[in-house]
Amino acid sequence: MKPSAANAARKSVAEDAQQVLRAIELIELGARMQVLESELALPRERMIRLYHELKGKAPPRGLLPSSADWYMTWLANIHSSLFYNAYLFLREDAGEPHIDALTKGYRLYVEHCQTTGAEVLLDLTRAWTLVRFFGADIVQMAPCSRCNGKFVAYQYDLCKGMVCGACCPPPRAGKTIKPSAARAAESESAHAA
């Protein structure tokens, strides 16, 4: 075997191992098969086997999110903006490749939610879709006129003087109906008294 052929074989094995490690990380973060197929150069059958091995079940089927409207509701917009700002920092300032910026940015987003006690609204597939929407010029980052933070907005929205959902939440924001178990316990204690 010639030295150059041996180096090429070693390189392909190393690249294959890197692809497998990335697939494992994406699957553990909840990536759907469409994300894996789009981001990795592994055969579909191999990714399905990896998914089975890690999750103990077949990958979920169904369509991916296809509308930017979800990212524009007030709470989803805050979560999406938090993730995308982390992704952008990792991509542009830290020089991370796209796939690493995606996974690390998503991990930072999840850690932030866990630290603050907030619900994780954005799953990895939605985060990946958001990055693709930016790449297709469907959405943009727009500055808030109050806090100067940058938030997800439609590409062709007039954003001058925009106020974000964090600075000006809707009137009923955070006022959800109590879960039925809590209501039942409350009514039992009221009847007991």
C-alpha 174/C-alpha 102 separation (Å) is 29
Asked if 44 contacts 54 with a C-beta cutoff of 8 angstroms, the reply is: no
Between vectors from CA 82 to CA 40 and to CA 119, what angle results, nearest 5°? 95
Asked if 50 contacts 32 with a C-beta cutoff of 8 angstroms, the reply is: no
| E strand or H helix at 37 | helix 33-39
pLDDT number for residue 1: 46
pLDDT number for residue 184: 52
Residue 110: closest CA among 78, 82, 74, 75: 82
C-alpha 89/C-alpha 151 separation (Å) is 14
pLDDT number for residue 170: 83
pLDDT number for residue 21: 93
CA distances to 83, 109, 125, 140 from 119, rounded to whole Å, are: 14, 11, 16, 24
Residue ranges at the known binding site:
144, 147, 164, 167
Residue 73: closest CA among 122, 32, 117, 30: 122
Q: Which residues pair with 154 in a beta bridge?
A: 139
Residue ranges at the known binding site for Zn(2+):
144, 147, 164, 167
Q: pLDDT tens, position by position, for the chain (193 residues)?
A: 455 555 545 558 888 899 999 999 999 999 999 999 999 999 999 999 999 999 999 898 888 878 899 999 999 999 999 999 999 999 999 999 999 999 999 999 999 999 999 999 999 999 999 999 999 999 999 999 999 999 999 998 888 888 888 888 888 766 665 554 455 555 555 555 4
CATH class of 68-154: mainly alpha
Domain extent listing, the chain? 3-55, 68-154
